[in-house]
Chain A
Amino acid sequence: MSDSEREPPNGEGGAPAPLDVQPEGYAPSVAARLARYQRAGGIITPFLTALVAFLMGGIVVLSTGHNPITTYKAIFEGSGLNWFFHFGSHQITIPGTDHQVWFWWDTNTNHVAAYNLTQTLITTTPLILTGLAVAFAYRCGLFNIGGQGQYTVGAIVGVFVGSRFVELAHFPHVLLVIVLASLAGAAWAAIAGFLKATVGAHEVITTIMLNWVAYWIGSYLFGRGGPLQNHRDAAVPVSDDIVDKARLPVFWGNSHLQGLHVGLFIAIGMLFVFWFILNRTTTGYEVRAVGFNPEAARYGGISVSRNFVLAMAISGLFAGLAGAIDIMGWQFRLGVLDVQVSNIGFIGIAVALLGRNTAVGVGFSALLFGALFTGTSTRSLDPSVFPPELAGNLALMIQALILLFVGADVLILYLWQARRKVGLGRRAASSAAVEEA
């Protein structure tokens, strides 16, 4: 639970305090009601947002002459989420043993649903992390658009470290890749934080610029004749493969057929780490204080500029980790094309916004986007229902609609506040005065 999901004990959520206890203590400001609105809407509005986006996507499907209901059903099945609804009597092997125990779901990835689900979860894994990268900065009042660049830098360092240090054992090697790639992502993001803290350069601008720097660095390094191009085929602009020991173990499915790797658990663990840092550490306290009210934070003795750098660095840590996990989990190499077409970092923005920048929200919305992209991929979608070459666009469109609606939600809140500032808020101001009593 993040702090925004905590409820005060005395029914502050709706009813004023009871008269006999403390009649004059209650005077909700507009800000308080806004916060309440956000919290009350915290669960409902993301659902509504996604629902409306899918509805509008359905209209587009209809306009192409296809049936939206069967199309969505096909996407759902393509994502493998239908797996959860098929019960039966199956066997599952306890990891590390030969023991078989009874299980109600069919885990055999030779079957389509289970296989699709593993693919969805493989996509969900980095989305969780890039979502956290955006969310963490957001909680410090910063808009990190640079998840993509940080992800790329993490992947570059990941593939470099993973394809070298061959003498290292399995676990130390994996750990080394993770640590160095995360630190690289952190350093990359910290540049934007540092520029903001020292010369006031806006992080939206600087992170976008850093995205392009990472893009071209990657393109150069692995391009033809580039210093990190592979040693086997000079015609292919791809890196060397990482060594087998640097791969993440696959725990579900066939490791030769892109099985589900343990990076998923790392990502889920990071959801908890995210929550823990924000709510249980002094660093998180500072980050949130700066995010809510930098002026009050400064008054409290907190260095705002230091927190800008720190929050960006932690953000970049998540994104860099995402890059490393993709390399170690299923990509094993990085090509110019990978660097140039990847948009995992950008989808992270949608993930964070839809998830309201909370740990739980990011987890679920990463799953939603992971399922959406897998379900609409040419590999998973039933071509007899909806042409997969259109489906990819449908996914992008739904993503854009979700962003638009989430953005509109923020916009409405912003206008509400702005209206009050100019003194035009007849309703807002008068009802605030009214509620004072």
Chain B
Amino acid sequence: MDEPPVLELRGITKRFPGVLANDHVDFDLRRGEVHALLGENGAGKSTLMSILYGLYSADEGEILMNDEPVEISSPKAAIERGIGMVHQHFMLIPVMTVTENIVLANEPVHAGVLFDEEAAEKRVAEVARTFNFAVDPHARVQNITVGQQQRVEIMKALYRNADILILDEPTAVLTPQEAAELFEILRTLTREGISVIFITHKLNEVLEIADRITVLRRGKRVETIPRAGATEAGLARSMVGREVLLRVEKKAATPGEPLLQVKDLVVRDDRGLDAVRGVTFDVRAGEIVGIAGVDGNGQSELIDALTGLRHAASGSIQVAGEDVTSATARGTLDAGIGHIPEDRQRRGLVLEFNLAENLVLHDYGKEPFSRFGLLNPRSLFGWARKLLQEFDVRGGGPETRGASLSGGNQQKVVLAREINRDPRLLIAGQPTRGLDVGAIEFVHQRLVEQRDEGKAVLLVSLELEEILSLSDRILVLYEGRIVGEFTPSVSEEQLGIAMTGGRVEAA
């Protein structure tokens, strides 16, 4: 530990008009460590790393590498100093091969101008061998998985001799298995002396992979601590600035009469194949039923069929005794279904609409929002102001466009709209996807609140933790069938086995 840090940021300050994005932030990186940079969306993580990568210049502060002050004025300068960055959105050319992508802009040449394919392949193979990467160098990028594409990005940085690697929310696009593989790669890298800055807002990842953790909040560094002794609760508190409930507090459920009854439901996907293959279940008033499953096992088609966005091929759906099997979206809304869609940007909001318009997406045709086909802007805006305040939506007022809100606030808008329609049945599809801890807590509390008010809640989520902490009953969907029903006391392992089609004794 006497060795100087390979990289040190001192008193970095960056102002944008009206915003102090970084406020005298100190940060240091030691050789061969994974240093996690943790913070909510908008805490200043990305700004800090952009300064380090030469995309922005700091207003104050300095950057030192091996105790030498350095100036990094462009990404090119950063690369020359051995800093590599893997963005959340990959910068690969789909039609080119892995090798071509890796050597791009640094191609080995012979005879001055000609691309030396042999040399390129040799050097890529070398990098792959040193760091133990399993990627086919001849595969076209468009044909490999997202996890492999990310590996190509990392190899690109290593090929350019990076010894400092910045990973911007690298697990956001990965499946849990791919994330585990990424962590394995990171361990190999650090053994080889590479230092990694790992930007994230996911607490469990930090505790799994980081050696040290720096927490940013509102542009300021809150603390830098070693992993040993760090807890999720402690980190969440530093990130959000208050006590956060990671597991929702809730009373025992008191289920009433069934509000949703699904019988032998079969739903086809866009290709005409059976995606849901005869499921039967109930959701009762006052309970949360969680549907667990690996992505692509019929969850989306099930939700679509329940909400009238897709025709059921056969079977029946009843909401509070009313048959809605062949109802339109409007029909299911009128029958009392509230729906928090899986993709809030594609479906939940009209991003170009302002918030007032978005908040009446289902009810624009009803009084007081309109009368005789004429909209009533005053009531629209009054309603929006009330809801935005009630749901603590930040970043804009009724006139703000949906697109200019952060993901968490967009989700709050969707939630506000759906909950305030006072539905009998609330269907929530991955309601916390991409949200940070503060927003997740908010969403979870609201869902439990709805349950306690006697609503039926159907939660469909890919996050096991979410399913386990919210649900009163858990159904596992595998290849379009319900393959098990569990109580929330079931272990993650048991659920995991059922989700992958293995047989388990019902707990």
- A residues with a Cβ closer than 8 A to B are 3, 6-12, 14-19, 22-29, 31-32, 35, 279-286, 288-289, 292-293, 295-303, 420, 422-426, 429-431, 433-434, 436-437
Contacts and interface: CB of A to CB of B under 8 A. Distances in A.
Given A22-B394, A26-B395, A299-B339, A282 B365 contact: yes
Given A19-B19, A282-B365, A301-B328, A436 B375 contact: no
A424 B357 CA distance: 33
Contact of B374 (A281, A301, A302): A281
A27 B351 contact: no
B46 A433 contact: yes
Given A10-B397, A18-B18, A295 B218 contact: no
Given A11-B18, A299-B339, A300-B362, A25 B396 contact: yes
Interface stretch (B82-90, B119-127, B187-195): B82-90
B20 interface: yes
B229 interface: no
A426 B53 CA distance: 14
A299 B329 contact: yes
B329 A298 contact: yes
Contacts of B399: 6-9
Contacts, number: 199
Closest 5 CB pairs of A and B: A25-B395, A25-B394, A437-B47, A27-B406, A301-B330
Given A22-B394, A292-B350, A301 B375 contact: no
Interface string B88-130: 1111111000000000000000000000000000000000000
A437 B347 contact: no
A429 B91 contact: yes
A437 B19 CA distance: 9
Contacts of A434: 46-47, 50, 55-56
Contacts of B268: none
Contacts of A423: 89-92, 94
A3 B377 CA distance: 12
B370 interface: yes
B42 A299 contact: no
B361 A10 contact: no
Contact of B353 (A25, A32, A289, A425): A289
A289 B361 contact: yes
Nearest to A291: B352
Interface in B3-58: 16-22, 40-48, 50, 55-56
B354 interface: yes
Given A296-B361, A437-B44, A16 B352 contact: no
A23 B218 contact: yes
A297 B350 contact: yes
B19 A436 contact: no
A431 B75 CA distance: 12
Given A15-B18, A17-B18, A25-B394, 16 more contacts: A8-B401, A10-B400, A15-B16, A22-B395, A25-B406, A29-B403, A288-B353, A293-B346, A296-B350, A299-B329, A301-B328, A423-B90, A430-B50, A433-B46, A437-B44, A437-B50
Contacts of A8: 354, 396-397, 399-401, 404
B42 A433 contact: no
Contacts of A285: 357, 364, 375
Contact of A301 (B91, B329, B350): B329
Contacts of B393: 25
Contact of A437 (B43, B329, B349): B43
Nearest to A28: B404
